[in-house]
Amino acid sequence: MLAVLLAGLVLPGMAQDAMRADANGAAEDEIKKLELDLAQMIVHNGWDQYAAALMDDYLASDRNGAVQDKAATLAGLRSGQEKVLELDPEELRARVYADTAIVTGHFTLVQRRNGRVDTFFARQTDVFVKRGGHWLLAASHATSVPK
């Protein structure tokens, strides 16, 4: 009877801990830095570096609802039809769950398209997976928001 009572007191606490992100400040900082680095790769046309930071089965849902795989994402960036002039991730929050990390943030994007420069704002969620000691971007989702 005592064992049942103790299990009833201890197990719910263990379940709550299992539902929280890992307390890993170093990994969170590493992921946030990677998010900033990825933005700079896009701005400065670092396509090979950017490609190496994406999982092979990477998928992105953009602010207009279009879904692209890694090849389509890279082809769109490399084409230059929509040149990213500035990409500023802000309010980044990272949560780490073992070898998976989720980053949310507010992104300001300044882009030249068809000779016109526009500014867009989005809330973005990125999912990273750690493979071979390196964090790789597995999925991205952006939703347009007012500033």
- Taking only the tens place, the pLDDT of each residue in 76-118 is 999 988 899 999 999 999 999 999 999 999 999 999 998 999 9
Domain 25-144, classified CATH 3.10.450.50, yes or no: yes
| Paired strand residues for 120 | 109
Whether the pTM exceeds 0.75: the reply is yes
pLDDT at 123 over 90: yes
pLDDT tier, 37 (very low <50, low <70, confident <90, very high otherwise): very high
Residues 6+ apart with CB under 8 A from 131: 55, 99
Q: Is 124 helix (H, G, I), strand (E, B) or coil?
A: strand
Q: Is 38 helix (H, G, I), strand (E, B) or coil?
A: helix
Higher pLDDT, 24 or 130: 130
Q: What is d(CA 58, CA 121) in angstroms, rounded to the nearest whole number?
A: 22
